């Protein structure tokens, strides 16, 4: 799945579960932020590795709780990370690494964008727009983030 799909589907389910949508969406990007650059520079054999594990989701929860002392933020980040794993199910996912040994396929990072992936991204964008329209708290947070960025960039 591509970023818009991950963001939209995660935002939708986080909204249904009354989680912090912003942090769930951030969490949904963490597995790719970890694994894809490490694959590109040749450290990892493929783009779904240590970041795409339940172990990493647990580390995200623990480390974010140690930093913030807020369970809702920590749980939302970990939820987003786990959602990413479920959304990537058609691919190789080392769910229980490092507790279970896996033979990691060697695949250089590549982007194969097709009509199916475009459709899934479009559905993700629709779901994100739906959540934005239906959830005033999320809409306010997004607005506050945009204002903050504009003020920092002096736009």
In a domain, 112, yes or no: no
In a domain, 113, yes or no: no
Q: What integer pLDDT is reported at residue 130 of this predicted model?
A: 97
Q: Tens of pLDDT along 31-63?
A: 999 999 999 999 988 888 999 999 999 999 999
First to last CA, the chain: 33
Domain count within the chain: 1
Residue 96's SS3 state is coil
Pairs from 57-62 (Cβ < 8 Å, separation ≥ 24): 57/81, 57/82, 57/85, 60/27, 60/30
Quick one: DSSP state of residue 112? -
Q: Tens of pLDDT along 63-78?
A: 999 999 999 999 999 9
Segments forming the whole domain that contains residue 57:
3-99+118-153
In a domain, 105, yes or no: no
Separation of alpha carbons 50 and 34, rounded Å: 8
In a domain, 110, yes or no: no
In a domain, 71, yes or no: yes
Q: What integer pLDDT is reported at residue 46 of this predicted model?
A: 87
């Amino acid at each position: 799945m591509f970023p818009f799909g991950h963001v939209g589907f995660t935002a939708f389910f986080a909204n249904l579960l009354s989680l912090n949508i912003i942090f769930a969406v951030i969490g949904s990007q963490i597995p790719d932020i970890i694994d894809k650059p490490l694959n590109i520079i040749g450290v990892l054999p493929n783009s779904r590795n240590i970041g795409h594990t339940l172990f990493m989701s647990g580390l995200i929860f623990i480390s974010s709780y140690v930093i913030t002392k807020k369970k809702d933020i920590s749980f939302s980040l970990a939820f987003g990370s786990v959602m990413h794993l479920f959304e990537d199910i058609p691919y190789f996912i080392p769910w229980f690494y490092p507790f279970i040994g896996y033979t990691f396929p060697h695949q250089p990072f590549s982007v194969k964008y097709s009509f199916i992936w475009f459709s899934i991204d479009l559905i993700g964008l629709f779901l994100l727009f739906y959540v934005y329209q239906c959830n005033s708290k999320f809409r306010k947070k997004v607005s506050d983030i945009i204002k903050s960025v504009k003020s920092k960039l002096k736009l």
